[in-house]
Amino acid sequence: MSAPTVTSVTAASPAARAGLAVGDELLSLNGHEPRDVIDFQRLSDASDLSVLVRRAGGPLARLVRVDKAAGEPLGVEVSSAVFDRIRTCDNHCAFCFIYQLPKGMRRSLYLKDDDYRLSFLYGNFTTLTRFTELDAERILTERLGPLFVSIHTVDPELRARMLRNPKGATSLRWLSVLLEGGIEVHGQVVVCPGVNDGAALEDTMAGILDRYPALASVGAVPLGLSRYSSEPEMRPHTPEDAAAVLDTVEEWQGLFRKALGHRMVFAADEYYLLAGRDLPPAANYEGYPQHENGIGMARAFAESFARPTAANPGGVRHGFFASVDAAPGEGYRAPRVESAPSGTDGRPVIVLTGTYGARVLEPLLASHPRHDIALRAVPNDFFGGNIGVAGLLTGEDLASALADVPDGPRCLLPDACLNEGRFLDGLTLADLPRSVEVVPTEGRSLRLALDGTSFRPGCSP
């Protein structure tokens, strides 16, 4: 187990007043060793802390007294979210995207996690195959929700086959435990054509209504297939497959509404784009419970592009910790300030995005009063296959797309394809052949970047 290591200290915070510094290892708080940032948050919420600190290069650990009020943020960021080991996944799904990555990428990208804590902290999906009684006890006691569970199918035999793990047949019993304990859980079904679509998907919907009606929502998302997949059973959805999935989902939305009062199941945006159907209206997404899973993202984007002054267009709920690597110095619930480039200097604009994003943006940009905006759909040659989402664009493909773009126009790039300043292939903005402006991947920010007006969410300009 490693101790949380301080990576930043907020000025004038209790930690700063107590003399904590970057590089300090916080071995215990009030005598307890935190296993993860969830423990860390709980322990550091107390008033008046005794922190056992080991300073880099220092002789021995020493106790530091921190004066603070209960609930007041301690004022440090720490190096990781989990201080004991991240629980890795023991499944071998044929549809797993990690198996479809080319060799030689960053090591962290190959980590298959299946850890309920990352589900709580970041919205990662867990199959519960490594879940234990102790985990359930902790979740129920500490009320760790919402959680996100990969269901795929409720047929035990098929689930074990899809996860390539016999434990897949029984691990959904934990889902019942969580739901009976009143924990908010969202599910997902990765639909693989010829495997768990068609009649199997119908059975899954019926099984959810029968056994897991307390689920908060279920997302039906398509299998993503890169050119590195070596699984003969896996094939991308055809437009007909997509239409069939939409028919099933929409039929079941009606049945769930009748039985439970809400739609429960939602189909990924990709299905509507692939089937060539209009996206549902915003109200049909019931608050966008699966926005981060690519469900309703396109509709929410369009809504916030059209009404950029609304505080939270479409009511999108961002994950509790969605963009946090560890403990933010100002506390876990600190507002995340999004910065979008604003102001227009009269230069024409090129908006870069993936091939799916382009289909969403095309009508929006056409409706904008400016006539000097060009849209460039960047094909994903790096991954190939059916990969077209903006979040998987790589520096290599963007560099090719930008190679023939002259210096004149502004180029806008969605931030979804960057993680800590790096593209998935490890390149950075500095590796691109020309400068680009990075825009938060939401409609309001793009609109701000195009309009050049300045407004604060919730205020009329």
Q: Footprint of ligand SF4 on this chain (CB under 6 A)? A: 89, 91-93, 96, 98, 112, 114, 127
Q: Please say which residue, 224 or 354, places its beta carbon nearer to ligand SF4.
A: 224
E strand residue ranges, 248-295: 265-267
Q: State how far the Cα of 358 lies from the Cα of 364, in Å rounded to an integer.
A: 10
Closest residue to ligand SF4 using C-beta atoms: 96
| Shortest Cβ 90–ligand SF4 spacing (Å) | 8
E strand residue ranges, 198-260: 217-222
H or E element that contains 147: strand 147-150
Q: Please say which residue, 37 or 93, places its beta carbon nearer to ligand SF4.
A: 93
Q: State how far the Cα of 65 lies from the Cα of 44, in Å rounded to an integer.
A: 12
Asked whether 430 and 367 are in contact (CB, 8 A), the reply is no
| Shortest Cβ 115–ligand SF4 spacing (Å) | 11
| Shortest Cβ 125–ligand SF4 spacing (Å) | 7
| Shortest Cβ 94–ligand SF4 spacing (Å) | 9
Closest CA to 113 of 104, 122, 105, 103: 122
Closest CA to 228 of 393, 406, 378, 99: 99
**For the sheet containing 373-377, what is the strand order?**
373-377, 349-353, 410-414, 437-439
| Shortest Cβ 204–ligand SF4 spacing (Å) | 17
Q: Please say which residue, 124 or 312, places its beta carbon nearer to ligand SF4.
A: 124
Q: Please say which residue, 109 or 322, places its beta carbon nearer to ligand SF4.
A: 109
Cβ atoms < 10 Å from Cβ of 29: 22
DSSP 3-state of 362: helix
Partners of 221 in the beta sheet?
190
Closest CA to 22 of 46, 55, 60, 48: 55
Closest CA to 417 of 434, 396, 433: 396
| Shortest Cβ 255–ligand SF4 spacing (Å) | 28
Q: Please say which residue, 98 or 283, places its beta carbon nearer to ligand SF4.
A: 98
Closest CA to 51 of 27, 78, 82, 76: 27
Q: Please say which residue, 121 or 358, places its beta carbon nearer to ligand SF4.
A: 121
Q: Please say which residue, 82 or 279, places its beta carbon nearer to ligand SF4.
A: 82
At 257, list the tokens: 């509404």
| Shortest Cβ 80–ligand SF4 spacing (Å) | 19
Cis omega (within 30 of 0) for bond into 146: yes
| Shortest Cβ 127–ligand SF4 spacing (Å) | 5
Q: Please say which residue, 223 or 417, places its beta carbon nearer to ligand SF4.
A: 223
